[in-house]
Chains A and B, each alone.
Chain A
């Protein structure tokens, strides 16, 4: 019971340390939109991009976006329910317009972002649990504050340069090449390095299993070992082995005999005479009456 309690406590403790494990994150924020992305009304408004980092779809309906431009004046926007567009596909983005006009659609919030001082943005799930928060610094027009890559820990100001470009509703850094593969092509073009490393790991994995089952096997073998008796062990072992084989042979023979299964059938039908009182010759004959003299 104590052990179970300990396990439960450890499990609960690990559950409470879930920082950074949220599926939905704030990914990029642009506070001062002059010539950047336009909304569906053709208006340049500030925006907040959220990213679903999981490999499952997540429905944002009922989630909360909170903004605080000054301490103590938090504004909350609840993502409406009933809109299929609130379902964010795996590893995809959703963009909320901070234009203070919620009547324009699900993705138009009831707040705007302050362009003259840092503002705090928080994202909560429908159970009001904080999923992610960020303090956005004061940004120049058309600059965004974004994670370096989608869902990465580090943030940077994206000024619109060639390497730091603003990316509403798309990946914060476009993946154009696979660095791992390129490294392999340069350093291990023949594949020997990969083969050796991988074979080593495969062997390590299976050696681990071998060790476990060997230890388990020995433990079980020792447990089931018969008590030592003062007889010649080797002889006894041989006798046991041969006895086992004999028993197996007898069992197989009995099984074949009793089961009536044969490798080769004779294809001959034999009608055996069965003696019953009805077929008994003696009973079938009438008794000759005796003459009484």
Chain B
């Protein structure tokens, strides 16, 4: 009886070593709190729930403590585990292009086609990348790491993952989470900067309604856009190629079923997997480092710089534009290519000051230009530093 009791006791003691309670560290608890905070923001504040719910829950999944030496094959960094297989979509970068396919299939580029000068706002906002690059250099990162961190300011998760995997693979996890988190936190970061840099008069400025865009122009846009942008920056091919392909599915008018799949079930599935695995990749042991904290700080700074440079560029640009062609500076933030969230912020803020002033159509122009601009910037960083 005594032997049996000790056998049971040993088994229970052994079992205890496998439990999360035994393996928990303060780091795990901190990360679980971060995950809960993300979920709170998504549900209570409705900050990008589509991104924050999967990322937040992913953080919980990734930070359930377990005995890493037991070979349970459950962790995201254990080769062959289910989570690791799902994470391949992030590390090898095939989730982001599929998301871009869906974005292309749901985006109307009429605003950009009818008013192509909005493209320049997308270019100006890329200063966020290089501003963060300079600060990262000052903080002691080497040029390759600084380039990978700076791209967070492009507000383009897929591009950030692509570039960091080439320039600084050891920082990829922190950079990816930082990029996606700040994209989700666009409603928190951008409005105060936009308010700070604009006057009340500027915020209610009405823009000339975009002209009607013909079906031919809409069909030509993805084809010409692909050829022009990808000849200039072939490194943006997976993203831009899928973006324009999705848009052609939408605009051609003869592939309705394909377009509906791309902008419906496909993008939903990939968004869930991408958010969940990016969140789960933040295992405390891998993630809670001093570098990660610095990257988060730099990420926030790069978003702030990008937003500010977009808004300020519009204000300067307005000085040379005729009065009837002036641009509302509230769409300057949309140059940060968090499609379509930053454009939505322009719309929400515009409506706050004038409930009849709809800026979404105008803001989509710089928003899409921002995607192109960040892909170009990534190509330049890759060319200069690789």
Binding site for B on A (CB under 8 A): 178, 180-181, 184-185, 189-192, 194-195, 197-199, 201-203, 205-210, 212-214, 216-217, 220-221, 224
Contact = CB atoms under 8 A, between A and B. Distances in A.
Nearest to A201: B380
Contacts of A212: 116, 224, 228
Contacts of A213: 112-113, 116, 119, 221
B117 A210 contact: yes
Nearest to A245: B209
A81 to B, nearest CB: 30
Given A209-B372, A210-B116, A220-B217, A202 B377 contact: yes
A202 B126 contact: yes
27 contacts: A181-B142, A181-B385, A185-B142, A185-B143, A194-B130, A198-B377, A198-B380, A198-B381, A198-B384, A199-B126, A202-B123, A202-B376, A202-B380, A203-B120, A205-B376, A206-B373, A206-B376, A207-B123, A209-B229, A209-B369, A212-B224, A213-B116, A216-B220, A216-B224, A217-B113, A220-B216, A221-B211
Interface string B118-132: 011011001101110
Contact of A224 (B134, B214, B225, B369): B214
Contacts of A210: 116-117, 119-120
Contacts of A216: 113, 217, 220, 224
What class of interface size applies to chain B in its complex with A?
35 or more
Contacts of A194: 130, 133, 143, 384
Interface in B127-155: 127, 129-131, 133-134, 137-138, 142-144, 146
Contacts of B138: 190
A209 B228 contact: yes
A274 B221 CA distance: 55
Contacts of B130: 191, 194-195, 198-199
Contacts, number: 112
A213 B112 CA distance: 9
Nearest to A189: B137
A195 B134 contact: yes
A55 B38 CA distance: 40
A216 B377 CA distance: 26
A217 B114 contact: yes
B203 to A, nearest CB: 23
B219 to A, nearest CB: 12
Contacts of A195: 127, 130-131, 133-134
B116 A201 contact: no
A185 B146 CA distance: 12
A208 B385 contact: no
A205 B386 contact: no
Nearest to A214: B116
Contacts of A202: 123, 126, 373, 376-377, 380
B193 interface: no
Interface in B153-172: none
B74 interface: no
Nearest to A241: B209
Nearest to B117: A210
Contacts of B143: 181, 184-185, 191, 194
B116 A191 contact: no
B233 interface: yes
B380 A191 contact: no
B232 interface: yes
Contacts of A208: 228, 232
A134 to B, nearest CB: 29
Given A209-B228, A210-B117, 15 more contacts: A180-B384, A190-B134, A192-B134, A198-B384, A202-B376, A202-B380, A206-B120, A206-B122, A206-B369, A208-B232, A209-B116, A210-B119, A213-B112, A217-B113, A221-B211
B123 A203 contact: yes
Nearest to B125: A202
Nearest to A188: B143
Contacts of B142: 181, 185
A182 B129 CA distance: 21
Contacts of A221: 211
A192 B143 CA distance: 12
A181 B126 CA distance: 22
Given A199-B127, A213-B112, A191 B137 contact: yes
Nearest to A211: B116
- Of B122, B130, B228, B229, chain A has the most CB atoms within 10 Å of the CB of B130
A239 to B, nearest CB: 15
A1 B233 CA distance: 32
A209 B225 contact: yes
Contacts of A214: 116-117
